[in-house]
Structure 1
Amino acid sequence: MSGRGSGSRGIGALAAAMVLVLAGCASAGAGGGEADPGSTSGAPPALSAEIVQGRGDVRDGVVAIVVTNDSDEEVVVDHAEYRSSALVEPLVGGDDSTIPAGASRALRGTLPQPTCATGPIVDEVVVVLADGTEVRLDPGDPYDQIPTLTDAPCTRLAVERVVDVAWLPIAVPDPALGADATVSLRLTPTGDGALEVRSVEPTVLLALVDAAGQRTTEVPLDVTIEPDGGAQTIAFAVRPGRCDAHAIAEDKQGTIFVFQVVLDGVERTLQLPSDDATRDALLAYVAASCGLG
């Protein structure tokens, strides 16, 4: 099990020597007889594992445990588990996957709720083979995603403790062809803290429009919701950032809005996926505005 931020492991020379002596004694005593049914038949296969989240999986909170078979024979995996001190329960991925020698398989599962605890992350991957054998591995992190996988949900949970978020129907002129739409959210304080919403950023599908009708990389909002204050609405104008049909049909991140906020005095980045109704409306708007609807 790895500790991200501290810790190391080693194997004592004395322990290794004792293992060799015991193995030699067992071989001498076997005398060609049958193996003890309770003993292991051999070392587990050589496997390695990495934790990867693809861009298309961000909205759905799906993460892949990528298991590589470094042995000379195929292995059959029942499932794999990513166990982390940052998660309330293990992430379980895969279902009866055969991995040929030298090949990799992405065993995908839904990221559980985060603990939102502070301190180093202690984690491991447990690969459970079809015969019940468990192979414990230190997870690789090729894209440096492990420390940040839970940042977005933890920030969202913290914000939702302070305000109730309601997506309002988007406003689209008629006809929608070439027109800008307005996205609005209603933020109602819960009485549990203060939230300042400073700005919003464009998405991979939607460009932002400033007060002069020009595309911009950021729209200031400057709205503060006090715990004992009233509900407030934030609104901003958008237009299609791209009009290729496949981008709309295959969209996974285009309706996830990123806000810069201050939560109880701490600056944070809030990734806020639009609800299903707003997402459907925005995708329909992009198609109509682009002349594809």
Structure 2
Amino acid sequence: MDRLPAKHRRRTAPRILAAAAVLATASCSTVTGGTAAGTSALETASTAASPVTAEISQFRDNYSKQIIEIQLTNTTGAALTVLSAELTSPLFIAGITWPARTGGIELPPGQTKSLPVPLPAADCSRPPTTGATAVPATVSLRLAAPTGTAATGTAAAGAATTATAADPYGVLTRNSQEMCVARAAAAVAAIRLEPELEVTADAQTAVVRLLITPRAAAGAADPGTLTIDRIEGTTLIAEDPAIPWPHSVSISAGGDSQEIRLSIRPARCDPHAVAEDKVGTLLPLRVTVAGREGLLKIDAGATLRGRIYDFVTTACGRQ
């Protein structure tokens, strides 16, 4: 092989020495895992993949309260403390904020915890969203090392990170749709269940009364017509087949009040029907109003709820 001329060797040597110095400097500033010395995992959270994954859920006993759960999973090998959390979705007019407790909540490594959050008002100016339409949601978190562990830099103050919030059950879409349907329906009429329950002599069926009071007509601001397409049963009560429930009930603002008598029977008589009930006294009305179709859930209220529980217990006990 030909050797380099002497003048070329003299020019190349300084370049090799400079490159070696750069490599030596780089090797002294790195540690195992590629993180700069003195930098915690929390400090890189804002630039690296989020150390926490998020999913949206809702417990059945919170269906009528518009409270959902942000379920956070710690994907790291060390405990983290969540100091604050806010979910952002275009379906709602404001951020969905977790009312953090003092000191936050600790996420052990590899574990999931649920943060209950109340929903703000839905953005009903948006066109109705179909169940098949994916609506993006993002959760913003502030994390810190848990109490009793060393934390420096941004870890002590709380590192910010964001994660896409999966919504596999369409919780956000369902709640926003129901809130917008309820708002549009309330502009047409007030709908409630009377607290009295009329139980038949054989205690096998009973009658609940749905009272509909239309709003006064508001001149040019006509809220339109509300149609109760059908009334659905619940996990606790069902339609008495001998006296079918009405359907296609039309209601207009300024119209006459209506009382709909619904003959009910127990939907189930297993031992846990009443003991584990969460939504059995939320009467679902399938309605059409203001260009929207959806469920309008009418809460029985505490008095009627207790009477329905007693009715179901007695009726099932006599079968």
**TM-score (structure 1 length as normaliser):** 0.76
Partner residue in 2 for 1:260:
286
Residue 186 (1) aligns with residue 184 (2): no
Match of 2:228 among 188, 197, 212: 197
Q: In structure 2, how many angstroms separate the alpha carbons of the residues matched to 1:129 and 1:90?
A: 18
2-structure distance, mates of 1:141, 1:223: 34
Superposed, which structure 2 residues align to 1:100-139 within 5 Å?
Answer: 100-118=108-126, 121=135, 123-130=137-144, 131-139=157-165
- Aligned-pair CA distance for 1:279: 2.2
Q: 1:85 aligns with which of 87, 90, 109?
A: 90
Q: Which residue of 2 aligns with 1:19?
A: none
SS at match of 2:167: coil
TM-superposed CA distance for 1:41, in Å, is 7.2
Unaligned runs of 5+ residues in structure 2 are 1-21, 30-35, 130-134, 145-156, 218-222
Structure 1 residue identity aligned to 2:44: A
* 1:1-293 equivalence runs, <5 A: 42-44=43-45, 46-93=51-98, 95=101, 96-118=104-126, 121=135, 123-130=137-144, 131-173=157-199, 178-190=203-215, 191=217, 192-210=223-241, 212=242, 219-264=245-290, 267-291=293-317
Percent of residue pairs identical: 28
CA distance in 2, matches of 1:137, 1:111: 19
| Distance in 1 between residues matched to 2:79 and 2:197, nearest whole Å | 56
Q: Does the CA-based 8 Å contact 2:51-2:75 persist in structure 1?
A: yes
Deviation at 1:160, TM superposition (A): 0.9
Q: Which residue identity is paired with 1:113?
A: A
Deviation at 1:144, TM superposition (A): 3.3
CA distance in 2, matches of 1:275, 1:49: 34
CA change 1:245–1:40 in 2 (3 A) is: closer
Number of positions where the alignment pairs a residue of Structure 1 with one of Structure 2:
258
Cα deviation, 1:223-269, whole Å, max 9, x if unaligned, reads 22222321111221111112334331231110112222232565443
> 1:233 and 1:162 mapped to 2: Cα distance?
16
Q: Which structure has the larger Rg?
A: 2
Preserved contact between residue 170 and residue 181 of structure 1 (Cα < 8 Å): no
Query: How many Å separate the matches in 1 of 2:41 and 2:197?
Result: 66
Contact 1:221–1:234 (Cα < 8 Å) also in 2: no
Distance in 2 between the 1:267 and 1:42 partners?
47
SS of equivalent residue, structure 2 residue 235? coil
Q: State the secondary structure of the residue aligned to 1:101.
A: coil
Task: Compute the TM-score of the two structures, normalised by the length of structure 2.
Answer: 0.70
What secondary structure is seen at the aligned counterpart in 1 of 2:54? strand
Between the aligned partners of 1:267 and 1:100, the Cα distance in structure 2 is: 43
